[in-house]
Structure 1
Amino acid sequence: MQSDMNKTQLFYEYYKQWVDVYKKGAIREATMAKYLMTQKWVETLAPDLLISDLTRTAYQQLLNDYALNHERQTTLDFHHQLKGAILDAVDEGLIERDPTRKAIIKGKPPGVKKIKYLNQFELHTLIASLNLKEKPNWDWFILLVAKTGMRFSEALAITPGDFDFARQTLSISKTWDYKGEGGFLPTKNKSSVRKIQIDWQIVVKFAELTKGMPEDRPIFAGKAKIYNSTANDVLTRRCRECGISEISIHGLRHTHASLLLFAGVSIASVARRLGHASMTTTQKTYLHIIRELENKDVDLVMRTLSGL
């Protein structure tokens, strides 16, 4: 860190410098935005807090103030983003003891979050209504996401070379920087780099669509700025035209996962296909579906046992 830092420095200023030195250029822009938001909250909640006055009590009060308007998980993320900077301040001798030790994470009760997804009939109706032209358009994009469960940025980064039509596989190894200046970026995490199976319909359709296209150029992204809202608007119109539930592009990812789970595909396989870092993420996201399946399993167990 810079030599001008001292114990009389305001905490939010220290944190701002810490983010600039240690995080800028080393993390994804989306993650960087979260650190910058954390810095703004610290400045808002504790504008006069000196780095030297950051005791356990002062830190706990900061967390408590933040938790008043945020859920517990969000407060936990806030805590984790601050902790790295604070531990470095301890190492530099700006703080005598670690004030984050034994911190209590509070927060508002989580709201009821119902995931929007289509049932199998609705998805079939949507796919049948898509206007798949000779050149790539948003309808092609909707089809690919529905059939693969990819994230929006992952699907934008797909190139013809990512398809192995002979083996019916699709390699997902990068994302598209649609929030920034465009161009390829790394995936969300290491688990997001994956190779998934694709069905024969996707093979036939995309083999024809990508014929003659450059192997290393994205199919759906180009020089023009791309907005998530544009794709969502197209999908919303298609849903309305079909008379089915209106969902977002991310809702197609949920639809894909939900249908696989209802079909009996294991949580482990679904997690790998979605590129989740762990099965815990999959379990938390699709808890309501898993509970429904468990109820069906109980009925199956009882029928099996009663037949013995």
Structure 2
Amino acid sequence: MAQIFKRGKKWCYRIWYRDKLGNKRSTSKSFDKKRDAVEQAAIAESQKNTTNLSKKETITFYEYFSDWIKTYKTGRFTRNTELRYVQTAKLIHDFFGNTLLKDVTRSDYQKFIDDYANNSRKNVPRSKKSVARINGYIRAAVADAQEEKIVDFDFTRKVVINGSKPKSNEHKYLESDEASKLKKYAYEHLSLKSISFYEILFALATGCRYGEIVGLTWPDIDFESKTVSINKTYDYVTRSGFKPTKTAGSVRTITISQKTVELLQRLNQEQIKTFFKQGFRNEKQLVFLNNRHYIVSDNGANKVLESALKSPEVNAKNIITFHGLRHTHASILISQGVGVDYIVERLGHADTSITLRVYVHLLKDKRDKDNQKALKAISEI
């Protein structure tokens, strides 16, 4: 039975419950009017028999989110996605500490979201997409907490998502002269020790995603027919092994030039000689395994690429990421008049709409040039 009493000018109720260890505990709330205290006490008394009141009174924001991940997310998604959930839990812990879930306010949560948006290791605002993803994870957890009656309201509701806008694809690729300089620079620095230069050249030549590149095995390469089979990726974050391609449409066979064939043959011979001396067997037959028997992460490859682009020999205007090499490959094909259907197949896009959306600015430029050619041809008749 709830206790109703007056504390100063406020009317209060106190109810008792058992925590998960069986210990007797109490919780109280205060109101301006006695009748409000009586009404809410009756509601709380009825709720404690149908909900986990001890959990509501003791669980922190971080504890609830961590338990929620284990219950609903672990083992159901890719390793990378699971890591994002775990990283979100760490963000909650770092910002909220031991704050109880029921005590988090909308203003507290807005401050948390703003803090995440404005602080990153590179001291630049995080992308709006990244902030929205974190908010999406937490919002789903809070919705479940509401259903469990652990929180009374959704404190993520109407949160304002800040962050930088994604860069236009116009700045995510190299001009043809920059690509030529980068190729020259990479060829001059090729070695098994600096295997990222092999990866850079392969990316420029094929437009493959980084996970597809490091997932290549030697049986995937047919030197005689000059083709490469893209049929899997590699988990370069945790190095736990092979994974499926991004989509079913990403499984494909692409043709490569004679120069790319010679590049891969050179890597193959260098790898065989080095591994033989080391007494190491490349059991997974990974193509882009360096002299330390290591698959370089995309972060490591990006650092090598950035250094090359900033070098005096290349001096690129736009410093792109490794994924920008894929865009560069596509831009070269478009500028040479290669059809969209072929580009879709080569890049492993699910359908034409993705290619059109990603490269709309390049295709528009080509269309404008085609228009000029058409008008000129007609005027000369």
TM-score by length of 2: 0.60
Which of the numbers 263, 270, 287 marks the counterpart of 1:219? 287
In the TM superposition, residue 204 of structure 1 has moved relative to its aligned partner by 5.1
Letter in 1 for 2:220: D
Matching residue's letter, 1:12: Y
Deviations 1:14-40 (A, max 9, x none): 112112333334434432332233234
Partner of 1:254: 327
Q: 1 CA distance for matches of 2:233 and 2:156?
A: 35
**Residue 229 of structure 1, CA deviation:** 5.5
Q: 1:47 to 1:307 in 2, by over 3 A?
A: farther
Question: Which of 83, 87, 99 lines up with 1:37 in the alignment?
Answer: 87
Residue matched to 1:127: 183
Q: By percentage of residues, which structure has more strand? A: 2
Query: How do residues 182-261 of structure 1 correspond to structure 2 at under 5 angstroms?
Result: 182-187=239-244, 189-191=246-248, 193-201=250-258, 202-203=260-261, 205-206=263-264, 210=268, 216-221=284-289, 223-224=293-294, 226-228=296-298, 231-232=301-302, 234-235=304-305, 236-237=307-308, 240=311, 242-245=313-316, 248-261=321-334
What letter corresponds to residue 16 of structure 1 in structure 2? S
Asked whether 1:110 is paired with 2:160, we answer no
Q: Secondary structure at the match of 1:171?
A: strand
Q: Deviations over 1:212-244 (max 9, x none)?
A: 967941012263463546545554348736445
CA distance in 2: counterparts of 1:38 and 1:88, whole angstroms: 17
What is the number of residues matched between the two proteins? 301
Partner of 1:150 in structure 2? 208
For 2:194 and 2:350, locate their aligned partners in 1 and report how far apart those are by CA, in whole Å.
Answer: 31
Kindly indicate whether the alpha-carbon contact (under 8 Å) linking 1:169 and 1:195 is maintained by their aligned counterparts in 2. Answer: no
Cα pair distance change 1:296/1:37, threshold 3 Å: farther
1:175-199 Cα offsets, whole Å, 9 max, x none, are 333333x342314622574214222
TM-score (normalizing by structure 1):
0.72
Q: Which runs of 5+ in 1 are unaligned?
A: none
Answer with 1 or 2: which has the greater Rg: 2
| Residue segments in structure 2 that go unaligned for 5+ positions in a row | 1-18, 21-51, 119-125, 273-281
Cα distance between partner residues in 2 of 1:241 and 1:295: 34
1:104-146 deviation digits (Å, cap 9, x = unpaired): 6532452656634332233334435514979796243322111
Q: Is the 8 A contact 1:153 1:176 kept in 2?
A: yes
Change (3 A) 1:283 1:187: farther
> Are 2:211 and 1:162 equivalent residues in the alignment?
no
Distance 1:143 1:51 in 2: 50
Cα distance change, pair 111–199 in 1 and its aligned pair in 2 (3 A): closer
Residue 68 of structure 2 corresponds to which residue in structure 1? 18
Distance 2:171 2:240 in 1: 30
Q: Distance in 1 between matches of 2:151 and 2:209?
A: 42
* Pairing 1:177–2:239 present: no
**Amino acid paired to 1:151:** R
Task: Give the deviation of 1:250 after TM superposition.
Answer: 3.3
On the 8 A contact 2:182/2:314 being kept in 1, the answer is no
The answer (yes or no) to whether the contact 1:125–1:242 under 8 Å persists in 2 is yes
